[in-house]
Structure 1
Amino acid sequence: MTARATRLTIAMTLCAGLAACGLTGGGGNSGEARLTGDDPQRAESTIWDLFGNRENPNYTVAVNKYLWNASLDVLNFLPIQSVDPYTGVIVTGYGTPPGGGRSYRATIRVSDPALDARSLKLALQGAGGAAVEPGTVRAVEDAILTRARQLRIRDGGL
């Protein structure tokens, strides 16, 4: 009985402490971070921010990891020029596929966390800025989507 009373006392103390941490300035219980002072980059947060799902979209990654990794696997013959996992963009330099004679460069954008064909945007460009046939672009997209499904199955996601 004493242990139960001790746990109840601790729980009540924690609740009272959390209640004392209440929001300051502006009243209300929005739980949003407020800017303080003259520095707009510094934000004051409260204990309630821990319980809310108010992630800053500038710090969250919203790309599908299987599409991302599959794109890098399928197009591994192309040199990477830039990669931005926050926007989901991969830009490559020119490279020649194995067994091919024509060089290509690619820009890949994974725009959604879903493993879906609509989440993948691919732009291919031939040497000298030449256009690439739509069938070639579709074949590369299909290869990326197939590899993404293989990676997901391997991870036990299905």
Structure 2
Amino acid sequence: MRVFISLILLAFLATACGGTRDPNAGQDIDDRRRAELGSIFGTQGMLGSGGDGGGGAPGIAVNSYLWRASLDTISFFPMAQVDAFGGVIITEWYSMPEAPNERYKLDVYILGRELRADGVRVAAFRQVRGADGEWRDAPVADDTAAKLENAILTRARQMRIETRAQVGE
């Protein structure tokens, strides 16, 4: 279990140290604005965020910072289902190389359009391989889900700060 938590924290630290990339590098302000206005749904997407600064992106019905931070934080897990509109990420079972007889699965739920502490929920599942080779459900440390939620929230806040610094707010 310690290995799993250490791996999660290591992944979080590695992503936190990553550089900031401007996806629109090479475009001037007028080109960006023209691209935004050219969209059939405008800059707010089909649902619109109402200009509340909630971090919603076009086509995503949940907070985009929480969504991207969730994907970033658990990126080493293979994904089974990823639904940006509903805010659901479900991973496949994943075994760490140093612990091949145990595996983990995560369900991550983004609960709204605002960047709030209660805006993300993680459910963690663990199985261990028995002597007969069959996988059996096993308990997960009580604080595992909370640590993952905190890592996602921290990364989301970092992303929001980076975005605002780029925009000049």
Q: Same fold (TM over 0.5)?
A: yes
Measure how far apart 1:61 and its partner are. 3.4
Which amino acid counterpart does residue 152 of structure 1 have in structure 2? R
What's the secondary structure of 1:76's corresponding residue?
coil
Are the equivalent residues in 1 in contact too, given 2:89–2:107 (CA < 8 A)?
A: yes
Change (3 A) 1:82 1:62: same
1:140 to 1:55, Cα distance in 2 relative to 1, 3 A: closer
Q: How does 1:3-152 map to 2 (within 5 A)?
A: 61-96=60-95, 102-127=102-127, 128-152=136-160
In structure 1, what is the Cα distance between the partners aligned to 2:79 and 2:93? 9
Code of the residue aligned with 2:103 in structure 1: it is S
3-state secondary structure, aligned to 1:129: strand
Q: Which amino acid in the other structure matches residue 107 of structure 2?
A: T
Choose 1 or 2 for highest CA Rg: 1
* Counterpart residue type for residue 70 of structure 2: S
Q: Confirm or deny: 8 A CA contact 1:77 1:96 kept in the other structure.
A: no
Relative to structure 1, the CA distance from residue 119 to residue 100 in structure 2 (aligned partners, 3 Å threshold; closer, same or farther) is farther
Deviation above 6 Å: which 4+ runs of structure 1? Answer: 98-101
Q: For the aligned residues, what is the CA RMSD?
A: 2.7
In 2, are the aligned partners of 1:77 and 1:98 still within 8 Å (CA)? Answer: no
The alpha carbon displacement at 1:104 in A equals 1.0
The answer for unaligned runs of 5 or more in structure 1 is 1-53
Gaps of 5+ in 2: 1-45, 49-57, 128-135
Aligned residue type for 1:88? G
Describe the superposition over 1:23-70 as per-residue Cα deviations: whole angstroms up to 9, x where unpaired. Answer: xxxxxxxxxxxxxxxxxxxxxxxxxxxxxxx959xx963201111111
Could you say which residue in structure 1 is the equivalent of 2:52? none
Q: Give the letter for the 2:66 counterpart.
A: L
Using structure 1 for the length normalisation, give the TM-score.
Answer: 0.56
Which structure carries more relative contact order (alpha carbon 8 Å, separation 6+)? 2
- Does the Cα contact within 8 Å between 1:84 and 1:90 map onto a contact in 2? yes
The 8 Å contact of residues 78 and 92 in structure 1, kept in 2 or not, is answered as yes
| SS of residue matched to 1:95 | coil
- 1:86/1:130 Cα in 2 relative to 1: closer, same or farther (>3 Å)? same
TM-score normalised by structure 2 residue count: 0.53
Q: Amino acid of the residue matched to residue 67 of structure 1?
A: L
The number of residue pairs the alignment matches comes to: 103
Partner in structure 1 of residue 17 of structure 2: none
